Chains A and B, each alone.
Chain A
Amino acid sequence: MKNIKAIAKKEFLHIIRDRRTLAMIVLMPLVQLLIYGYAISTDIKHLALYVYDEDQKYLSRRLIDTFEQSAYFDIKKRVSSADELYQALDRGKAKAGVLIPPNFTKDLLAGRGPKLQLLIDGTDSNPATVALNTSQAIVTAFMQREGLVPVSVAPIDFRPRLWYNPDLKSSFFMVPGLIGLLLQMLIPMITASAIVREKERGNIEQLIVTPIKPFELILGKIIPYIAIGLLITVTIVVTSGILFHIPVRGNPFTLLVLTFLFIVVCLGIGLLASTLADNQQQATQVIMFFMPPSILLSGFIFPRETMPLFVYYLSYAIPLTYFVKIIRGIILKGLGFAGLWDQILPLVLMAAIVLILSVKRFHKRLA
């Protein structure tokens, strides 16, 4: 026990002395939080809209106002010819354009059913879909408000409601998952470097002749990194609460316990990588190899349900897959252990496998 404490203490000194690693541990989470929280937004709002209004009467103006009032479109310019609008779409200045024909108001009031055209830039399918759906809703709402169509009584009282993230903010979706991504990125790397460093710099030669046991060495070395992982988690949860108003709906204790479990898996990966590598560079490369699949396939950004079946099954082998569900479950849905067993058990299994494997290999390397 005393040996473990002595090693943990020494390891903390290494971390404090190593400015680059320290900067990475402190800055990377914050920078990523800002990038994923602010910059990478999958919310589609404020699409640039060009308007060509040939009518210029009160109903055409009211229609344009309706578009403007929705958060989804911003009226960028009112143009005076159809060609001007087409060019704006060609150049990407406009994402959508409304063409209101002459006599729009008159025909509408006379019940002659005037034509109204909306052109959408379909290059990027996501905003195009949003533009298509919301424009239909906007026009329907306009017609109902102006009393142009009777408000019918539907046979089904259909009331869809959005749970957990009613405003569909992408930061709610991204930031909790980001905690998992950061842990999986940082923890294996710094653990592997820390272990390989002893070998690389020859420190192990001195340690090996002391009465210290391999498990004491491993435990002592990883304790500081568990603390760092938990610290990163707390920092992000608190910061994202302040910046993005993301509430923690579940039990913070549950969050910490399950984050600890995930950190153990990450540490195990780092240990395993360190037994495969001879220097810090190799260790980093081994770990970097697993990064892209973790980001892309874990459901951190893209929903796993839309993946081809083979890739979908492959994503079951990624620890982050389970942790993304766990952390979103706790933070956004307020789930506890009971609701998360499906995710917890695979992680426990993974932790056991990587730890047993790495301790076995570690013994061999020491001898």
Chain B
Amino acid sequence: MNTSVAIDVRDLSRHFGKFIAVDKVNFSIDYGEIFGFLGPNGAGKSTTIRMLCGILASTGGTASVGGFDVNRQSEQIKEVIGYVSQRFSLYNDLTAQENLEFYGRIYGITGKDLDDRIEEILRLTGLQQWRHQLAGILSGGMKQKLALANAILHKPKVLFLDEPTAGIDPLSRRALWELLYQIADSGVALFVTTHYMEEAERCSHIAFISQGRILKIGRPNDLKDEMTGTLLEVECSPLMKASSLFQKIAGVKGVTAFGTTLHLNTSDMERVKAEVLNAARSGGIDIKAMRPIGASLEDVFASLSDKQDEKH
């Protein structure tokens, strides 16, 4: 087995009765990599994380985390992973330092080792001056930094972050990502779920999951490149009327609104251009500009949802 692989997932599934929460997903993550896990609420992100953390048994397939099997070696897995939950789960009535001391001891770090490690972590996260503040009164950004500090205290090999930046301001979010890069550089594999496309851009690999299935997986740039020549940006008004008209044009797989423009997803660029002009003329739509564009991750995501809709 390749020792550079941190997480290896093969046909991993989880059924709850008849409901299939996760359906035969496959991916692998190397150490030092930041893996973004994207998908709508209820897509199976949390279920996947719970299985990989060894707190929920899978009902099919296999997965290894840090070299341990998730179903048979969940105790060992808990030693080598760190976890930052979506909701702040540390103790509000304990100070930053007391929280770190508590979790450090739980992971078997004691005495001077613990003191040294806490110093190191506080310095890394810039939380030194807040160390004696109760965690409950820290700002949202500080709380997430503390949660992160807490999760890497025991030097995990794999770090799971469940929507780590939900509800914190853009500046704090950026600071947090700086930290994530530093952690990844030290050889830790990061598994991040997120709703934010700009965050997905920062990942080394991303996977889109919907209804328990992985729809797409790859490097952000590769995914965007795949869509080159398939996106037509139309600046027009009134926007929503135009959107419903363009949707009916044969060869248009999807229409997404961005500001004052519409992005049309198509495999037949030239013909669709002509059709759009026709439709606009007969429908009273004012077209200001029209050009093929490169895709953003949001476009990739939109096109994936379009494909899903087609299937149903």
Contact = CB atoms under 8 A, between A and B. Distances in A.
Contacts of A206: 83, 85, 89-90, 103, 150
A147 interface: no
Interface in A162-218: 201-212
Contact of A13 (B75, B78, B93, B103): B93
B91 A211 contact: no
Interface in B150-203: 150, 160
A14 B93 contact: yes
A18 interface: yes
B92 interface: yes
Interface residues of B, number: 27
A202 B106 CA distance: 18
Contacts of B98: 10, 13
A213 B196 CA distance: 35
A6 interface: yes
A10 B87 contact: no
B27 interface: no
B79 interface: yes
A14 B91 contact: yes
Interface string A71-110: 0000000000000000000000000000000000000000
Interface residues of A, number: 24
A205 B89 contact: yes
A75 B145 CA distance: 77
B81 interface: yes
Interface of A is mostly: helix
B105 A209 contact: no
Contacts of B87: 202, 205
Contact of B89 (A13, A18, A202): A202
B91 A10 contact: yes
Interface in A227-245: none
A211 B81 contact: no
B273 to A, nearest CB: 51
B228 interface: no
Given A3-B105, A209-B53, A10 B83 contact: no
A5 to B, nearest CB: 8
B278 interface: no
Contacts of B55: 208-209, 367
Contact of A211 (B79, B94, B102, B160): B79
Interface in B31-89: 53, 55, 75, 78-79, 81, 83, 85, 87-89
Contacts of B221: none
Contacts of A5: 105
A95 B103 CA distance: 67
A2 B75 contact: no
A10 B94 contact: yes
A203 B91 contact: yes
Interface string A1-33: 011011101100110011000000000000000
Interface of B: 53, 55, 75, 78-79, 81, 83, 85, 87-94, 98, 102-103, 105-108, 110, 134, 150, 160
9 contacts: A2-B105, A3-B105, A6-B105, A17-B94, A202-B88, A210-B103, A210-B106, A212-B106, A367-B55
Given A14-B91, A17-B93, 5 more contacts: A6-B105, A9-B102, A14-B94, A202-B85, A209-B53
